[in-house]
Amino acid sequence: MSGGEECRVAFMWDDSFEQFDNGINHPVRRGRFRAVRDYLWDQGLLGNGHTLEMRAEPLPEELLRIVHTTDYIQMVRQISETGVGDIDIDTPGFVGIYDTARSLCGGTTTGVDAILNGEIDHFVSPTGGFHHAFPDHGGGFCVFNDIAASVCLLQSRGVNRVLIVDLDVHHGNGIQHYFYDRSDVMYVSIHEDPEWMYPHSGRVEECGSGEGIGYTVNVPLPMDTGDSGYQYAFDQVVSPLMEFFQPEFIFMLPGFDTHFLDPLAHMVTTTSTVRYTTTKIHAAAHKFSDGRLAVVSGGGYHKDALRWGVATVISVLAMLPYSAPEESPSLTEDRETWDEIHSAVETVRNTVFTILGL
């Protein structure tokens, strides 16, 4: 379909999204996803004839077995049955975690399947984007890797070029691991400098290996990067790579945790950047991918910034009016920050772009 036609947009939901139990002091607490859904309804962004709410099914076990090792799956099952043990130091275990993790990943795989079946053009999930999960271990609040599972689903259905644009403030070390030596999946991540941000990976020189060299692209930005810096990096790196790669399917992690209100990071963006990047990626999906675009929330640990961000994405994809409340970051990029931003972007262009012949 062309970008001028009305898009069929789904919001993925199931009540099981709220069955996790990370504890009352964990950054991801119960009520996180329902608050987003309630806000969308309150703002008229659901139930309006332009968007639909789609029920998410759990991540299929056959996909789970492809992307995770037998030993790791068994470990998660044992924790799930006994409530004893943790996935990682920051990712608590609890009774029922196996089913809950499959449910939280299922919004992504269900949405991808619906796009492939021609039921919708785009979907937005309040969960998903578990980019820190590896084949044999989890961490960073991630148990199973929904993006890796979804790429398997896509490629089993004949989709050969998949682009993952990860704007989360944390580098997606798990996603990078899965596709590091492949040229049929391009992973582009803009994130806070790993020198001081978990998971301390995602440097420019991490740019793939073998057939995949140049198809992993990392853009580490300094703390205090705001709207202008993020948008500049996007225009200088992501936009030309989308033109080069011409993807058949696009995943987007919007980076709600780059917001100046987020308590776990040091960036100072607003929802203006969410609108800017979503608009650009939406246009690319219609230009290259027949509109096939999946948006998964990833991080975002301030309740207002998260719901404003998801609402902004929905409004762009469904072409509906919405404006977040006024946002006033206390900081903007100074000269030193801009120097670091320019340096990071130029390093990417002088290395990865050279490898790709751009």
For residue 355, the surrounding DSSP H or E stretch is: helix 335-356
Give dist(CA 154, CA 143) in Å, integer: 21
Q: For residue 136, give the nearest of 208, 67, 84, 77 by alpha carbon.
A: 67
- 200 given a catalytic annotation: no
What secondary structure, in 3-state letters, does 19-62 show?
A: CCCCCCCCCCCCCHHHHHHHHHHHCCCCCCCCEEEEECCCCCHH
- SS3 for 162? strand
Catalytic site residue from 132, 137, 177, 191: 132
Give dist(CA 53, CA 273) in Å, integer: 25
Tell me which amino acid residue 112 is: V
- SS3 for 263? coil
Chain center to CA of 60:
20
Tell me which amino acid residue 102 is: R
User: Are 352 and 245 spatial neighbours (Cβ–Cβ below 8 Å)?
Assistant: no
User: Are 193 and 220 spatial neighbours (Cβ–Cβ below 8 Å)?
Assistant: yes
Cis peptide before 194 (omega within 30 of 0): no
Give dist(CA 313, CA 325) in Å, integer: 15
Beta-ladder partners of 185 = 162
Provide the token pair at 144: 């199973």
What's the DSSP call for residue 72? H
Tell me which amino acid residue 332 is: T
Catalytic amino acids?
132
